[in-house]
């Protein structure tokens, strides 16, 4: 019989991660539904503790991770990070990210299978604790975007926030996105990362971000079957999920149907060349996704676009550990406001004043100095700064595979 952990941690706070014990399976439920399960520090620390403990526990064969409510997770609870930066305490923000990236790395190299059930909104940090796992199950309700959603506890979040990419917030797709976006077919990862395009379950399955599509009405049956699994054999688990999995067609309007055009445009060397190529295509065809992509690129932070493109390109040649280490450096430079204050300006324009009119610094792509972009990828020049030091892992091969 399954048992559920108490609803409070040792510090007396409401439990933000529910744990259900089912013989050889553990079900971890992200439990901040009012905040769309945005990842808080207590949530990240508890997940770290559980993942480390379960990997050592021979009685645990499989982990299932899901969200309570209409979201799996709408990203990291990084409003506190922005406030710390505004107060000149950038190091507090980097500690949040250090713990989050460590969790992502443990998941990416986990020695036991993880089944992530993505039945709803998935963004930013939510992608980090799911996409890096071995099995990613999506439904007709799934919507993913690599956006830095800044959730404040107790504050209602509107739906339009989910259309805003990291580059529109003066940030970039992190949580190991430079690793898995760079491994999507062709240059689809550049398209998703630069434009912040939202993908549905069918698109995630087609490009490899998901391994299975299961109708939401069958999730309870799938969970029940998985709780009876007595092995960590990924082929047995895959076969179990296959019993409920379906192949679903892409919508006619899906940009993934035009991967040839995406490859032609997003393979260009610079962001300026990508925009120019898209504008040429737009002049000869009336596809809405091209117009939307151009608009997103022109509204985004120029320096964030440059950093994002380079991070994905470098990610193609790196393992997940080096990708996370690179991204941590980028985050530190951004939070230190070294060359630009776009992170705070994006936070102000999108989620504080909500005027949707950020004043980027610099304001145009052609004004972004290549030496400044180089600086973002270098070590941080601060005596108190430390590189991201990831734990030693037995399973050095990442669990993420674009196709099962």
Query: Catalytic site residues?
Result: 76, 125, 166, 174
Roughly how many angstroms between the first and final C-alpha of the chain, as a whole number? 31
Element (H, E) at 94: helix 90-108
* β-pairing verdict for 143-145 and 199-200: antiparallel
Q: What does each C-alpha distance from 375 to 267, 294, 369 come to in angstroms?
A: 24, 27, 10
Cβ(354)–Cβ(346) under 8 Å?
Answer: no
Q: Within a 10 A sphere around the Cβ of 6, how many other Cβ atoms?
A: 9
Cis bond before residue 362 (omega within 30° of 0): yes
Task: Give the closest residue to 320 by CA, choosing from 73, 110, 48.
Answer: 110
DSSP 21-49: EETTEEEEEE--GGGTT-B-HHHHHHHHH
What sign has the CA pseudo-torsion 85, 90, 96, 98? positive
Distance, in Å, from the CA atom of 9 to the CA atom of 50, rounded to the nearest integer, reads: 13
Q: Residue 352 corresponds to which tokens in the numbers above?
A: 């504080």
Q: Residue by residue, what is the 3-state secondary structure of 141-203?
A: CCEEECCCCECCCCCCCCHHHHHCCHHHHCCCCCCCHHHHHHHCCCCHHHHHHHHCCCEEHHH
Q: Helix or strand or coil: residue 62?
A: strand
Residues across the chain: 404
Q: Within a 10 A sphere around the Cβ of 157, how many other Cβ atoms?
A: 19
Helix segments in 249-319, DSSP class H:
259-266, 271-284, 288-299, 302-315
């Amino acid at each position: 019989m399954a048992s559920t952990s108490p609803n409070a941690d040792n510090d007396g706070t409401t439990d933000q991660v529910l744990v259900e014990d089912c013989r050889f399976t553990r079900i971890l439920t992200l439990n901040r539904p009012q905040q769309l399960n945005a990842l808080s520090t207590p949530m990240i620390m508890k997940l770290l503790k559980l993942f480390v403990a379960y990997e050592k526990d021979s009685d645990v064969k499989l982990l299932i991770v899901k969200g309570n409510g209409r979201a799996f997770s709408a990203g990291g609870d990084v409003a506190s990070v922005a406030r710390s930066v505004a107060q000149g305490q950038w190091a507090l923000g980097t500690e949040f990210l250090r713990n989050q990236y460590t969790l992502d790395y443990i998941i990416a190299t986990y020695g036991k299978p993880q089944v992530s059930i993505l039945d709803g909104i998935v963004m930013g940090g939510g992608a980090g604790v799911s996409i890096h796992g071995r099995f990613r199950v999506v439904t007709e309700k799934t919507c993913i975007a690599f956006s830095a959603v800044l959730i404040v506890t107790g504050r209602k979040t509107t739906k339009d926030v989910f259309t805003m990419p990291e580059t529109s917030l003066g940030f970039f797709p992190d949580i190991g996105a430079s690793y898995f976006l760079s491994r999507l077919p062709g240059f689809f990862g550049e398209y998703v990362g630069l434009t912040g395009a939202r993908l549905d379950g069918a698109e995630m399955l087609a490009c490899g971000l998901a391994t299975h599509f299961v109708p939401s009405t069958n999730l309870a049956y799938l969970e029940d079957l998985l709780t009876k699994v007595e092995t960590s054999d990924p082929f047995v688990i895959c076969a179990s999920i296959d019993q409920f999995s379906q192949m679903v067609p892409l919508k006619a309007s899906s940009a993934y149907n035009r991967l040839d055009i995406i490859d032609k445009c997003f393979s260009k060397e610079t962001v300026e060349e990508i925009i120019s190529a898209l504008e040429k295509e737009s002049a000869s065809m009336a596809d809405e996704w091209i117009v939307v992509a151009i608009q997103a690129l022109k509204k985004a932070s120029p320096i964030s676009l440059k950093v994002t493109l380079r991070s994905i390109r470098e990610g193609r040649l790196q393992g997940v550990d080096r990708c996370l280490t690179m991204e941590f450096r980028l985050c530190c430079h951004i939070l230190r406001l070294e060359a630009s204050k776009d992170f705070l300006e994006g936070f102000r324009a999108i989620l504080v004043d909500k005027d949707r009119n950020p004043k980027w610094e610099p304001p145009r792509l052609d004004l972004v100095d290549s030496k400044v972009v180089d600086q973002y990828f270098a070590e941080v020049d601060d005596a108190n700064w430390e590189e991201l030091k990831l734990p030693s892992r037995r399973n050095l091969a990442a669990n993420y595979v674009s196709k099962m």
